[in-house]
Amino acid sequence: MKNDNRPIRIALIGAGTVGSKVASLLIDQAEDLKARSGAPLQLVGIGVKDSSKPRPGIPQELITSNISELIAKDIDILVEVMGGIEPARTHILDAMSRGISVVTANKELLAKDGATLYAAAEKNNVDLYFEASVAGAIPLLRPLRESLVGDKVLKVLGIVNGTTNYILTKMDETGASFKDALQEAQKLGYAEADPTADVEGHDAAAKAAILAQLAFHTRVTIDDVFVEGITKVSANDVLAAKEMGYVIKLLAISERLDDDSVVVRVHPAMIPRSHPLASVREAFNAVFVVAEAAGSLMFYGQGAGGAP
């Protein structure tokens, strides 16, 4: 990061829901961001697959389909929000090799090959930030990576998917079926037209792998995570849990065993209504951390949408 007042030059790759929001923030809140960062933040280009596609609110002159050329410019930070494994991995590694720090929200890539990215960042002496890859706007990953580095994390429990939490909340509050609650979530924009990645637990599994990597300093990948979604949770299941004083949540669980091995799993679980995670409703996310010295900590906030 620069100490002088020269602009911090930023290249963005990906202009979907999240990318467009990032671009708008950099353009519309330039003065506020300058005041907070101490230097102007200059968006120098936006790399996309199709540069001819109209993108309201984003100057066309910033758009390019030549991402390699964009990265080769004199930039300080690459923001990657294109998603997927490739070509995102190639572009990130290219940027790091040029001494460019990277900000990414790519949970799929981090869950699959985070070790490669961490090693590249260390080798090239650049920063890799990925706070937005898990639990939306919740400032969670830095505390795990830095604040608790001297502590021993024992367990991490997370509600890390806003879609499934919204569905289960509606089933609990109204007695709705899974199908009806899903349809409501889709109408409100909390669920995609194809909700498979969310309701089958795959999105939460990717986030669980990233949390485990940081909390337990392990090379866990998404392939190591046991996954069960919420499609088999019925209204009767939710009602029975309610009558016993429990609520059903889709939890991402990482746990250190007695032999110091780590298990990571994602599945519906009944938790007591007195537990802090039970109060996490609708599209909100929360992560509950149990550490040897610090005890129990919970991080909570909005988890869905482009802005978080």
Q: Which two tokens stand for residue 163?
A: 């879609």
Q: What are phi and psi of 286, to 5 degrees?
A: -160, 150
Whether residue 3 is predicted with pLDDT greater than 60 in this model: the reply is no
Helix ranges (DSSP H) in 175-234: 178-187, 196-199, 202-216
Helix, strand and coil content of the chain, in percent to the nearest 5, comes to 40, 25, 35
Per DSSP, the residues of 116-137 read: HHHHHHHHTT--EE-GGGSSTT
Position 175, amino acid? G
pLDDT at residue 18, rounded to an integer = 84
Burial annotation 210-247 (CB, 10 A radius, 16+ → b, else e): bbbbbbbebebbbebbebbbbbebebebbeebbeeebb
Among residues 265, 266, 285, 264, the alpha carbon closest in space to that of 276 is found at 285
| CB-based contact 168:233 (threshold 8 Å) | yes
Q: What is the mean pLDDT of the chain?
A: 92
Binning pLDDT at 50, 70 and 90, where does residue 131 land?
Answer: confident
What phi, psi does 295 have (nearest 5°)? Answer: 80, -140
Of these residues, 207, 232, 242, 249, which one is catalytic? 207
pLDDT digits (tens, 9 = 90+) for 207-218: 999 999 989 988
Q: What are phi and psi of 305, to 5 degrees?
A: 105, 170
Instruction: Enumerate the β-bridge partners of residue 11.
Output: 45, 78
Contact by Cβ (8 Å): 68, 1? no
Write the CB contacts of 86 (distance below 8 Å, at least 6 apart in sequence): none
- Residue pLDDT, tens place only, 95-127: 999 999 999 989 999 999 999 999 999 999 999
pLDDT in tens, 8-50: 999 999 998 888 889 999 998 988 988 888 899 999 999 999 9
Spell out the domains of the chain, with CATH numbers in brackets: 8-133 (3.40.50.720), 141-302 (3.30.360.10)
The question of whether 2 is a catalytic residue gets the answer: no
109 vs 82, 213, 245, 251, CA distance in Å?
11, 13, 38, 21
What is the percentage of the chain residues whose pLDDT exceeds 70? Answer: 96
